[in-house]
Amino acid sequence: MRHIRQPELYSVDYNVLRQRFLSAARRSNAALFEYKHSLHGPGGENLFTDVAYLGERNASKKLVILSGTHGVEGQFGSACQAEWLSANNPLQLPADTALVIVHLINPWGTAWSRRVNEDNVDLNRNFVDWEVAPPRNDKYAELHEAFVCAEWDGPNRDRAEEMLSQARTSAGGHARIAAIVEAGQYDCPDGLFYGGSGPVWSNRTLNDILSTFVAGASDVIVFDLHTGAGPYGYPALLSVAEEDHAGLQWGTSTYGHALKVVMTGKGAITDTGIAATATGYVSAAVRKALPTSRVLPLVIECGTLEGAVVMDAVKADNWLHLFGKLESPLGQKIKKTLRAAFIPHDPEWQQNCLATSLRYFDRALMALASVARPDPGGDIAKNAVSITDWPPAVPVNAKRHERPAVEVHDLHKSFGTHEVLSGVGLSADPGEVVSMIGSSGSGKSTFLRCINLLEQPSSGTIVVDGEEIRMKPAKGGRSHPADMRQVERIRARVGMVFQNFNLWPHMSVLDNIIEAPVHVLGERRQDAVEHAHQLLKKVGLSEKHAQYPGQLSGGQQQRAAIARTLAMRPKVILCDEPTSALDPELVGEVLRVIRQLAEEGNTMILVTHEMQFAREVSHKILFLHQGKVEEQSTPAELFTNPRSERLRQFLSRTL
């Protein structure tokens, strides 16, 4: 079984999920596009559905992987998407095949931990044919009042629960009630499994994505990633269909008995845990949007708790959003219960669901690889639309033309007559991770130390966050900073993680962390302490705040040093061989923290001898040789296709 390298992949924080996904996609050289939602997340953050596209624009075979149809389940789908990209870098796409990853199609639901969207709409009931009247669900209407009881407890609540209990008994158990409720309903906008009154934002966005990035392909496999139904911890592979079609046979021949076909419609029954009575699924949408393609719509559905328990959690969440207070203790408890109903806090569940899903993705690529190219004269090829433009999504890459977080041009540095850096340049965009590799003595650490003027460069230009460090000529054709106050200001924005930690030995861990925020940034001590505790939690050292550096292991000291760096809220983090002073068994714990920082979108410049790590976390790698950049490229390119002989030799010695 493949092991999850990052258990924290399952995060409840929308920003963490998004940054992690974008980071993984950028490392894979995907083209990125974003669809901005008009609402914000709970922290005021902007919300987006992101699309990562890999492969030829006009590929005739496409694999689509969609997450977050039911917002709160998006943690799982996002983890699968990011982890599959990270575990397969560079991803080997078969010829004439492209990958389209749609990250969090219902971003509002994910950010607010709701199964539904911003209009209380279940997106997986919203893809009905809106040209005709939506299906009626009279049996739901009879139960609706009990589902939306305004009281959390008290006599009315007791009556509502009694009514539901009687309905369960007379219908013959929870499953029967579930079949009624989960069929979806279109009359009660405040009720459960409400399908809406027209196509919602996520519906329109998905259709736009399909017509922009997928339409015209001859063969398409689509995964829609879900949790919350079926046996615990078992990722079932399903294909949901309202009628038989060519894709189903393709699915059966690809996955054999692993695939369950669920025929939906009025009165349909299935033992898969999903609602066969419902219509308006994503699978219907993809087939409708891609009429000229052979489409295999797949659902991965990872079972969690008993159906009745999941339904209760959804019902409580509906009450919370209609009548409760999100920030109250009860509100927080309801949210926690809902999240646990869809993503259990169980490493084995998380590992198994993720690993199995990645295997289903691998298999899909194999299935696409074995599809012969379409006959150029055939019907499908005739109908193929060539993608010449990518509107209306805004390419995320365009954002990367914002000003770089760090730019260095033509940097020279000599110690006496020994020129250690001979014209080194580098540019890191916000959120980018740039690693520097090279033999011992090639000048990597000196370069890093020049960026925050721990070493004074002999000449060259350094721009941090748009501000150029002003230099003035000094003796012997050298230069010095013109204004030390400017240097101090810029240093405060550039965090540095040193090889030897550099913690103050006479101060506790907490005092080490708050020292600079209080004395350099002028933060209130109380605020700095609060922030320090958050950071210690992040690096896994909550228990160690009162200890002194000498009482900690090397790995713990380095993690404390990272927390101290983060306390200054740096624009850029420079890491100078952060693990080279550690015993091998302590390296992993530090790399994990650095990986997390990288994936949360911090801008980092990293000097390291950990090649595999550099390959996994970096967007760009520079190979330094004798004070010059010999080669720079993306990790995939640099490691698999080194151009210079020196780099080839270096890699053969170190990999």
> Interface with ligand ATP by CB under 6 A: which residues?
415, 420, 438, 440-446
Residue 364 phi, psi dihedral angles, 5° rounding: -65, -40
Q: How far is the CB of 421 from ligand ATP (least distance, A)?
A: 8
Q: How far is the CB of 438 from ligand ATP (least distance, A)?
A: 6
* Closer to ligand ATP by Cβ: residue 517 or 578: 578
* Closer to ligand ATP by Cβ: residue 156 or 654: 654
* Closer to ligand ATP by Cβ: residue 438 or 635: 438
Using CA atoms, how far apart are residues 235 and 301, in angstroms rounded to an integer? 5
* Closer to ligand ATP by Cβ: residue 141 or 454: 454
- Quickly list DSSP for 181-220: HTT-BSS-TTSTTB--SS--HHHHHHHHHIIIIITT-SEE
Q: Nearest-CA neighbor of 71 among 39, 24, 93, 100?
A: 39
Cross-strand bridge partners of residue 495: 573
Using CA atoms, how far apart are residues 473 and 458, in angstroms rounded to an integer? 9
Using CA atoms, how far apart are residues 435 and 608, in angstroms rounded to an integer? 7
Using CA atoms, how far apart are residues 333 and 590, in angstroms rounded to an integer? 33
* Closer to ligand ATP by Cβ: residue 576 or 599: 576
Using CA atoms, how far apart are residues 398 and 370, in angstroms rounded to an integer? 35
Q: How far is the CB of 648 from ligand ATP (least distance, A)?
A: 19
Q: How far is the CB of 440 from ligand ATP (least distance, A)?
A: 3
Q: Nearest-CA neighbor of 380 among 293, 289, 250, 286?
A: 293
- Give per-residue burial for 316-351: e unless 16+ CB within 10 Å, then b: bbbbbeeebeeeeeebeebbeebbebbbbeeeebbb
Q: How far is the CB of 424 from ligand ATP (least distance, A)?
A: 11
Q: How far is the CB of 117 from ligand ATP (least distance, A)?
A: 51
One-letter amino acid at 172 equals G
Using CA atoms, how far apart are residues 574 and 567, in angstroms rounded to an integer? 14
Two tokens at 365? 């690529």
Q: How far is the CB of 486 from ligand ATP (least distance, A)?
A: 23
Q: How far is the CB of 609 from ligand ATP (least distance, A)?
A: 7
Q: Contact at 8 Å (CB) between 315 and 140?
A: no
* Closer to ligand ATP by Cβ: residue 86 or 446: 446
* Closer to ligand ATP by Cβ: residue 215 or 451: 451
* Closer to ligand ATP by Cβ: residue 420 or 433: 420
- Give per-residue burial for 414-428: e unless 16+ CB within 10 Å, then b: beeeeebbeebebeb
Q: How far is the CB of 439 from ligand ATP (least distance, A)?
A: 7
Residue 97 phi, psi dihedral angles, 5° rounding: -130, 140
Using CA atoms, how far apart are residues 631 and 245, in angstroms rounded to an integer? 51
* Closer to ligand ATP by Cβ: residue 323 or 415: 415
